[in-house]
Amino acid sequence: MAPSTTPPTSVRRVKNIARYAIGCGAIADLEPLTKAQAAGGGDGTVCFVDEYFRGNPGLLGAFAVGEGVQTIFVPTDVEPTTDYVDQVVESIRSGPRPRPSCLVGIGGGIAMDTCKAASNLLANGGRAEDYQGWDLVKRPGVFKVAVPTISGTGAEASRTCVLTNPRTKLKLGMNSDHTVFDYVVMDPDLTRTVPRDQYFFTGMDAYIHCMESLAGSHRNAIGDAYSRETLRMCKDVFLAQDMMDDRCREQLMVASYLGGCAIATSYVGLVHPLSAALSVVLGLHHCVANCIVMRAMQPFYPEAFREFWDMAHRQAVAVPSIDGATLDATTLDALHDATLMHERPLANALGAEFRKVLTKQATGQIFRGM
């Protein structure tokens, strides 16, 4: 019998998105969808909208700021913390729609993750930090819809919502089948206004998730197929003349979705723990932090390293670097500790003995190489 590509250590039972709409103009699905949901009871719709759209509502049509909908503008200067989510949920509970029938997350990973976390908390009670980990959410959340306006993280399809706990310094999501959105509306018209650098950094998250999955040991045969197609589409987009033309924006939206499905079946690798440390210790945002980490990944992921820099150069994107002067011994220690917290992805990438590879000296060298 041929060996299975899905070994016993892998994720074997997978929940994906139940329904989605894709194509220019798909945003028109949103209003009938939420109205149908409200007809079943509850207090109507609460929308989590990326703050970018506060000053630019035109793209979303009347819906997000329309009547009968409570809109919460989600700030994106800082990635969501457990405290922020607790505070948002409290404001819903004490507001005009304490038992919403539907939640909608419109924006990037920040707005979508805030929506997912709020959905879980409204249905399960407690505080956000109680659910950071694997399979800790007991009951299905409030019906939730994703409307991505930037592509790459796969937050629209994944089974997590990444939150930083300011006390424990843990950057970890609520990994649960209940965190998966019930419906995703993918309208490539919505990503037209994303700044070019941000478009590249976020888009590369899909590429990095999938190359890490395929290089890891916790594989899943279906996840591998999603990952391979995601990589193909990312390369098609980022090696094109203009990564943001109409065709590429639709391709990248699909790649992001497939990448999110892939990651629901597997784990990331070395880039993400290092990137999470940059976020927690230096306050860098996730997607730009990943790209900075890629500066030091040649020894670990040589092929992806080469492809990544080909794509960055092709699109003339300037990936920032770390100022060596900020990396004193205390900071390097903190970066090391924040990296090694992420045991599952590190074991996926480097094996159970990953601590032998990632000594303090080794992580010091990696961070200094960024």
Instruction: Scan residues 154-173 and list those touching ligand NAD (CB under 6 A).
Output: 154-155, 158, 160-162, 173
Residue with tokens 């919502």: 161
C-alpha neighbours within 13 Å on the C-beta side of residue 37: 24
Closer CB to ligand NAD, 173 or 223, in the complex: 173
- State the number of binding residues for Zn ion (CB under 5 A): 1
Q: Are 156 and 168 a contacting pair, CB within 8 Å?
A: no
- Chain residue at closest Cβ approach to ligand NAD: 109
- Chain residue at closest Cβ approach to Zn ion: 205
Q: How far is the CB of 290 from Zn ion (least distance, A)?
A: 6
- Chain centre distance of CA 137: 19
Binding mask 46-85 for ligand NAD (x = CB under 6 A): ----x-x-----------------------x--x------
Phi, psi of 171 (to 5 degrees): -105, 100
What's the token pair of residue 84?
């922020």
Which one of residues 29, 129, 205, 307 is an interface residue with Zn ion (CB under 5 A)?
205
Closer CB to Zn ion, 103 or 289, in the complex: 289
Residue 113 is a binding residue for ligand NAD (CB under 6 A): yes
Among the listed ranges 32-40, 58-66, 103-111, 201-209, the one in contact with Zn ion (CB under 5 A) is: 201-209
Q: How far is the CB of 333 from Zn ion (least distance, A)?
A: 24
Please, which residues have CB within 8 angstroms of residue 305's CB and are 6 or more apart in sequence?
Answer: 294, 297, 298
Q: What is the 3-state secondary structure (H, E, C) of 27-93?
A: HHHHHHHHHHHHHCCCCCEEEEEEHHHHCCHHHHCCHHHCCCEEEEEECCCCCCEHHHHHHHHHHHH
Closer CB to Zn ion, 141 or 269, in the complex: 269
Residue 156 is a binding residue for Zn ion (CB under 5 A): no
Strand-pair category, 133-134 with 171-175: parallel
Instruction: Scan residues 114-153 and list those touching ligand NAD (CB under 6 A).
Output: 149-150, 152-153
SS3 category, 368: helix
Q: How far is the CB of 329 from ligand NAD (least distance, A)?
A: 28
Closest CA to 259 of 216, 224, 219: 224
| Spatial separation of the C-alpha atoms in residues 47 and 146, rounded to whole Å | 10
> Given the rule CB under 6 A, which residues bind ligand NAD?
50, 52, 76, 79, 107-111, 113, 149-150, 152-155, 158, 160-162, 173, 190-191, 193-194, 198, 202, 205, 285-287
> Given the rule CB under 5 A, which residues bind Zn ion?
205
